[in-house]
Amino acid sequence: MRCTSAAPREGPVLRFTREYVRRSSVPRAAMLELYRRLLTPGAEPYRDGDEAALHLWLAGLVAVRRAGQESEVRVRNRIGSTVFNATWVETEAAMLGSEPDA
């Protein structure tokens, strides 16, 4: 199924993801900033103890994969990044009262 503007943007999985990010015990600003960076092509190294990455993974937004000897974190899939895109990050950041640092 292709996610277009006509496709539903609210369902149990999408609602869970959205609410998980909003209610997480990790500072949302850190999660949103990491996710914003991951929306650009590429990945970032995964660091043990990175709570923002861990909670984005628990929300289903990112995947942690092995890259040689290291692990990297990247956006999990294109469907998720279509719904949870840069506009969503900006909207969530505005709800916090500030934008993530550029």
Asked whether residue 2 is assigned to any structural domain, the reply reads no
Confidence at residue 1, expressed as pLDDT on a 0 to 100 scale: 47
Which DSSP letter does residue 85 get? -
Asked whether residue 36 is assigned to any structural domain, the reply reads yes
Count of structural domains, the chain: 1
Provide the CATH number for the domain around residue 45.
1.10.10
Are 48 and 57 contacting, i.e. CB atoms less than 8 angstroms apart? Answer: no
- Confidence (pTM): 0.81
Of 95, 96, 28, 93, the residue nearest 59 (C-alpha): 28
Asked whether residue 1 is assigned to any structural domain, the reply reads no
45, β-bridge pairs: 72
Q: Out of 58-62, 89-93, 96-100, which region has the weakest mean confidence (pLDDT)?
A: 96-100
Asked whether residue 87 is assigned to any structural domain, the reply reads yes
Could you tell me the residue range of the domain that residue 58 belongs to? 12-96
* Distance in angstroms between the alpha carbons of the first and the last residue of the chain: 33
Could you read off the pLDDT of 27-83 as tens digits, one per residue?
999 999 999 999 998 789 999 889 999 999 999 999 999 888 899 999 999 888 999
Q: Which residues contact 15 (CB under 8 A, 6 or more apart)?
A: none
Above 60 in pLDDT, residue 5? no
Above 90 in pLDDT, residue 96? no
